[in-house]
Amino acid sequence: MNIKELEKFLTEKNEPSFRFKQICQAIFKDGIISFSEISTVSKNLRSQLNKKFKILPFKGSKVLISKEKNAIKALLKLEDDSLIETVLLSPQEGHWSACISSQVGCPLGCLFCATGKGGFKRDLTADEITSQVLFWRQYLKTNKLTGQFSNIVYMGMGEPFLNWDNVKESLNILIDEKFFDFGRRNIVVSTVGIVEVMEKFAQDFPQVNLALSLHFANDTKRELYMPINKKYGLNDLKNFLQNYFKTNTRKVFIEYILLKDINDSQEDVLKLANFLKSIGKMQLIHVNLIRYNSIGGELNASSKETAQKFKEALKTERVHCTIRKNMGNDIQGACGQLAGKNK
* β partners of residue 64: 73
- How long is the chain? 343
- DSSP character for 186? G
Name the amino acid, one letter, at 35.
F
Buried b (16+ CB within 10 A) or exposed e, 167-189: bbbbbebbbeeebbebeeebbbb
Residue 85 annotated to the active site:
yes
How far is the C-alpha of 304 from the C-alpha of 282, rounded, in Å? 26
From the candidates 24, 106, 321, 335, which is the catalytic residue?
Answer: 335
Chain mean position to CA 184:
14
CB count in 10 Å sphere of residue 190: 22
Measured CA angle at 308 (ends 328, 334), to 5 deg? 15
Contact (Cβ atoms closer than 8 angstroms) between residue 157 and residue 105: yes
How far is the C-alpha of 231 from the C-alpha of 192, rounded, in Å? 11
How far is the C-alpha of 134 from the C-alpha of 128, rounded, in Å? 10
Chain mean position to CA 192:
13
How far is the C-alpha of 275 from the C-alpha of 287, rounded, in Å? 12
From the candidates 24, 85, 113, 255, which is the catalytic residue?
Answer: 85
Residue 106 annotated to the active site:
no
Task: Give kind and range of the element (H or E) at residue 99.
Answer: strand 95-99
Q: Which stretches of 226-336 are DSSP H helices?
A: 234-247, 266-279, 304-316
Residues marked active site are found at 85, 335
